[in-house]
Structures are given as structure tokens and as C-alpha cells.
């Protein structure tokens, strides 16, 4: 691990954990004094293993069959890694899950810093991107037992391979990303762009890409690997549960992602919810505007693969019948942090942004722990 990048990353990584654990402590204090509904009490006491993290823990402990079809929407790499670590070391499954997710988040910060430096040569942009990644409002999931840490790490590793012409390394990381989360398959888009040389604006690809048969095969592998990783899990689901598309169809349930829908209609519905006091839904719309603005910056100033990955990730997030987890999807679109890092190069802007981001991180974490926001 690059030591200079690690020195930059450690402080914001630690600070984010202090902030999120502090929010959890505040939530438990409020529960003990306000005596809210039982669902809130349960959520608070689940802590860092609440929401989706509980599913990853249960899959690692008991397997998919014991949990039913609803668990199939959680892709297998994280629970498999958790179970494997638990079988090797004397730690509980809970501890192994949190260890993997938090270590992945640390490594992701290092790779983000390295990638930003390689693309821009600007230490301020690289440092700012790391701070934004860790203090983004939805970044509390990087402290919990969620798959975002491993997913972002693998996406960054894929980009490092693509941008340096190391096609087989990109293919390996892309395949694992396809096994980690459904959005992993979207890495095929930047891989295709890089494979055919459509870098667009921004810096050209670094390193020697090669044009021989082995290099061409590597390019094809990098493009196909994310879909192959996803297909591997779907094929297992078909063998074990009789339906290739079961992990996808589960997400179409109304209380989850829902079916594909018009983003404008969903946005208007969320705004109406905000007017009626549904804070958790109404908060999504302002952030969607911010994310779209950052995507425009990426398309204008960065190589095309970065903007394309952000756009398709956001497109998937807003095409559902609700915007729940929009901010978390945007976290996986790590190029947005790079764009924001470049915009905050001036010290005065950074000093203004960091307290605002930190406050938003505390607020979002508290709302999630109190069962008022769906992460």
C-alpha cells in the first residue's frame, strides 16, 4: 500500500468513524430518553449491523437457503469473504464483516488518492477527493457492514487497470465487482470506452495498452468480466433456486427498489413527500441536482470513462419507483468525488465544505440509525 497516500487517507478515514459512531451513541441516548416506537429501538440497537448489513451478516452465518428469496438481492462476494475470514481467525462473524468493510474503505481511499494523482498530478484534488468520499452524507455505510467499501475498492482497482492498459488486472477486478453488487456490471461501460480508445476530454490513457492478440484478448476480457461476475451469481441462483433472474426480480418489490419508472415523476413524488413532512424521501431531490452537476463536470473535464460510469450509475439509481438509497448509489459512482475534489481546490472552498459535509454525515447517520432514512 502506497505510504504517501496512506498518510493522506488515515485522518479522514478515522474522523468519519468517530463521527458515525458518535451519531450512533447519540441515537442510543435519544432512544433511552424519548422512548420511541419499537421499530426505532430495534434499529438503533442493530447499530452498525442494521439495515442491509444484517442481511450480509446473516448470509455469512447461515447461507441464502435459510433466509429465503429476499436475501438473493445481496450479492455473494462480501458474505463469502466474511465467512472465509471467520473460518480462519478467532473473530465473530459480526467483527469479520465490519473488519472487511472498514479495511476496504481504507484501501479504497488509498486507491482514490493514487488515481487522482495519476490523472491530474494535483495533490489538492487528490486530497479533497478522499475527504469527500469519507465525509459524503451517505458515507456512514462505509463504517457499517455494507458492500459499498469493497465495491468502491474494486471499481477503483478496475479503473487503475483500465487507465494503465493492464487489461487482465482490470478484468479480474471487474469480475469480482460483478460478484459484489448489481452495479458492478456497469463497469463494463468504462471498460468498453477504454478498450476502444474513446477517452474524450481530459488526459489520455497512461502506459502502454498494446495491440497484439494477447492485449486484444485482455481488452475483451476487461469489457466482459463485470457481466461475467454478475452472471456467475445469477447462474448459481438458477441452479440453487430455479430462477436465473431471481436476485433481480426481488428488487422489483414495491417496498424495495420497485419497477423501472420515470425519474421526473419519482422526483415530483418525493418533493410532494417533503411538503407533507416525509423528510427521508424529500432529501433525495436536492442531492440528485448536485450529482447531475458533478456528472456534467466529469463529462467536460475528465476522460469519458469517468463521466460515463457516473452517468450510468446515477441513471440506474433514478430509474426506480423511489429514490431510496440514491445517495448510496452515488457513493459507488466514485468519479463524482473526483469532480468535487477538483472544484474544491481553493482552500477557502474546502474549509467551507468540510464542516457542511461533516454535519450532513452526522445527520444522515442519525436519521438512518433512528429508522427515519433508508440508506
Share of the chain above pLDDT 70, in %: 87
| Residue 33, pLDDT above cutoff 80 | yes
Please check whether residue 252 is in contact with residue 259, taking contact to mean a CB–CB distance below 8 angstroms: yes
Widest distance between CA atoms in the chain: 68
Q: Average per-residue pLDDT in the chain?
A: 90
Q: How would residue 375 be classed by pLDDT, with cut points 50, 70 and 90?
A: confident
What is the torsional sign of CA 202, 208, 212, 218? negative
SS3 245: coil
**Could you tell me if 13 and 35 are in contact, meaning their C-beta atoms sit under 8 angstroms apart?**
no
Q: How confident is the model at residue 85 (pLDDT cuts 50, 70, 90)?
A: very high
For 91-139, how does the pLDDT look when each residue is reduced to its tens digit (9 = 90+)? 999 999 999 999 999 999 999 999 999 999 999 999 999 999 999 999 9
pLDDT at 220: 96
Task: Give the number of other CB atoms < 10 A from CB of residue 27.
Answer: 22
206-221 pLDDT, tens digit per residue, is: 555 566 777 899 999 9
pLDDT in the model for residue 164: 95
Given a cut of 80, whether residue 79 has pLDDT beyond it is yes
Angle, CA of 372, 373 and 375, to the nearest 5°: 145
Assess contact for 145 and 328: CB atoms under 8 A: no
Q: So what's the pLDDT on residue 266?
A: 61
At residue 345, the pLDDT reads 85
Q: How confident is the model at residue 23 (pLDDT cuts 50, 70, 90)?
A: very high
In this predicted model, what pLDDT tens digit does every residue of 236-261 receive, in sequence order?
A: 999 999 999 999 888 876 556 656 66
Residue, of 279 and 323, whose pLDDT is higher? 323
* H/E element, 157: helix 148-163
pTM: 0.94
pLDDT value for 239: 95
pLDDT of 324 over the 80 cut: no
Let me know: does 119 contact 203? Beta carbons within 8 Å: yes
What size, in residues, is the chain? 375
What CA–CA distance (Å, rounded) separates 136 from 131? Answer: 8
At residue 305, the pLDDT reads 97
Whether residue 360 has pLDDT greater than 80: yes
Amino acid at each position: 500500500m502506497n505510504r504517501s497516500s496512506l498518510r493522506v487517507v488515515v485522518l479522514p478515514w478515522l474522523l468519519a468513524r468517530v463521527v458515525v459512531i458518535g451519531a450512533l451513541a447519540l441515537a442510543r441516548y435519544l432512544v433511552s430518553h424519548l422512548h420511541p416506537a419499537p421499530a426505532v429501538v430495534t434499529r438503533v440497537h442493530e447499530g452498525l449491523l442494521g439495515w442491509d448489513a444484517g442481511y450480509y451478516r446473516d448470509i455469512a452465518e447461515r447461507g441464502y437457503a435459510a433466509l429465503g428469496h429476499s436475501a438473493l438481492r445481496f450479492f455473494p462476494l462480501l458474505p463469502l469473504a466474511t465467512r472465509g475470514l471467520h473460518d480462519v481467525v478467532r473473530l465473530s462473524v459480526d467483527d469479520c464483516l465490519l473488519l472487511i468493510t472498514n479495511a476496504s474503505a481504507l484501501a479504497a481511499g488509498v486507491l482514490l488518492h493514487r488515481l487522482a494523482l495519476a490523472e491530474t498530478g494535483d495533490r489538492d484534488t487528490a486530497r479533497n477527493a478522499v475527504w469527500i468520499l469519507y465525509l459524503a452524507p451517505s458515507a456512514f455505510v462505509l463504517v457499517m457492514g455494507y458492500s459499498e467499501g469493497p465495491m468502491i475498492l474494486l471499481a477503483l482497482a478496475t479503473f487503475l487497470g483500465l487507465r494503465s492498459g493492464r487489461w487482465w488486472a482490470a478484468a479480474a477486478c471487474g469480475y469480482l465487482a460483478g460478484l459484489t453488487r448489481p452495479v458492478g456490471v456497469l463497469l463494463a461501460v468504462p471498460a468498453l470506452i477504454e478498450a476502444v480508445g474513446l477517452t474524450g476530454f481530459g488526459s489520455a490513457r497512461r502506459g502502454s495498452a498494446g495491440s497484439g492478440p494477447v492485449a486484444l484478448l485482455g481488452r475483451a476480457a476487461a469489457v466482459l468480466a463485470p457481466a461475467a461476475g454478475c452472471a456467475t451469481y445469477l447462474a448459481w441462483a438458477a441452479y440453487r433456486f430455479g430462477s436465473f433472474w431471481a436476485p433481480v426480480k426481488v428488487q422489483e418489490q414495491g417496498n424495495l427498489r420497485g419497477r423501472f419508472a420515470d425519474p421526473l415523476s419519482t422526483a415530483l413524488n418525493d418533493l410532494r413527500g417533503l411538503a407533507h413532512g416525509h423528510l427521508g424521501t424529500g432529501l433525495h431531490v436536492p442531492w440528485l441536482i448536485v450529482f447531475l452537476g458533478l456528472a456534467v463536470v466529469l463529462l467536460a473535464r475528465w476522460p469519458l470513462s469517468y463521466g460515463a460510469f457516473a452517468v450510468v450509475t446515477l441513471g440506474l439509481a433514478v430509474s426506480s419507483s423511489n429514490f431510496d438509497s440514491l445517495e448510496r448509489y452515488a457513493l459507488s459512482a466514485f468519479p463524482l468525488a473526483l469532480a468535487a475534489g477538483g472544484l474544491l481546490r481553493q482552500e477557502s472552498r474546502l474549509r467551507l465544505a468540510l464542516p457542511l459535509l461533516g454535519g450532513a454525515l452526522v445527520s444522515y447517520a442519525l436519521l438512518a440509525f433512528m429508522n427515519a432514512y433508508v440508506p
